[in-house]
Amino acid sequence: METVKRFFARARCFFEYFGSLSLLFLRTIGQMFVPPFKWRPLIQQMDTVGVNSSPIVFLTSFFAGVVLALQMAYTLKKMSAEIYIASLVSLSMCRELGPVFTALVVAARVGASITAEVGTMKVTEQIDALETLATNPVKYLVVPRFLALLVMLPLLTVYADAVGIIGGFIVSVYNLNIPVFLYIKKTFDVLAYKDVFTGLIKAMSFAAVISLVACHEGMNTRGGAEGVGRATTRSVVFSCMLIFAANAFLTALFYFIK
């Protein structure tokens, strides 16, 4: 009986959390169209999310492409089918690895930073001060971060796709001696617009998840500096879990549900 009670308590917490994220999403969408519109905070957040994240996205995607090509070469060489490495790398990066790896990197770097920043403002009562000054915290704190992630994460995903394909190119051309023109031809022969656009749609969905979870955890921080640490940890963990769940759902929706 105690196990059943714990199960329903956990289920209730899950639905309450999902409901809180949904309400924050609706409030964010509503505040996006309420004047005044300030561009400076948005540009600053875009710089933080996009430009400052590009080096680590480069390294992650490049080595993902290299490892993917090496692993496939180990198997495909036995069947004399090395030429298909180009097609497999490009499809894997555009459909799955590019969007997911980029989202995980951004969740760990940017999501944690947002939660720590907003959480510090919460425990030091700066958010209460904003409400006292008739400033909506959602418009002031959440909207710029939401829009910045919504714009920059798809761009980072395209960047990651290209870098990963270059990593596979280096392995295939210089290690497996595949001709350059043949690798490029096989890369683009299999890619369809659907493969690229589904990756971008995934990236936009992941951007919404990261921004909403990070801001929600920050705005509900309790317990001083220790609470900020706990909220930051929860933000990264919950973001990663929801990214994997959303990726599974979107993959099934785009490729398996007719």
Buried b (16+ CB within 10 A) or exposed e, 196-225: bebbbebbbbbbbbbbbbbbbbbbbbeeee
Listing DSSP states for 214-239 in one string gives HHHHHHT--SHHHHHHHHHHHHHHHH
What is the helix, strand, coil percentage profile of the chain, to 5? 90, 0, 10
Block mean pLDDT (10 aa), the chain, length 258: 72 79 88 82 86 90 91 79 83 90 92 90 83 81 91 93 92 83 84 87 93 90 84 91 92 78
pLDDT at 258 (0 to 100) = 55
Using an 8 Å Cβ cutoff, are 214 and 114 in contact? Answer: yes
Using an 8 Å Cβ cutoff, are 217 and 238 in contact? Answer: yes
pLDDT at 125 (0 to 100) = 81
The whole-angstrom separation of Cα 154 and Cα 211 is: 14
Quick one: tokens of 167?
């990593």
- Between CA 256 and CA 56, with CA 207 as vertex, the angle to 5 degrees is 105
Q: Cα dist. 109→72, 240, 245 in Å?
A: 30, 12, 20
**Global pTM value:** 0.90
pLDDT at 85 (0 to 100) = 85
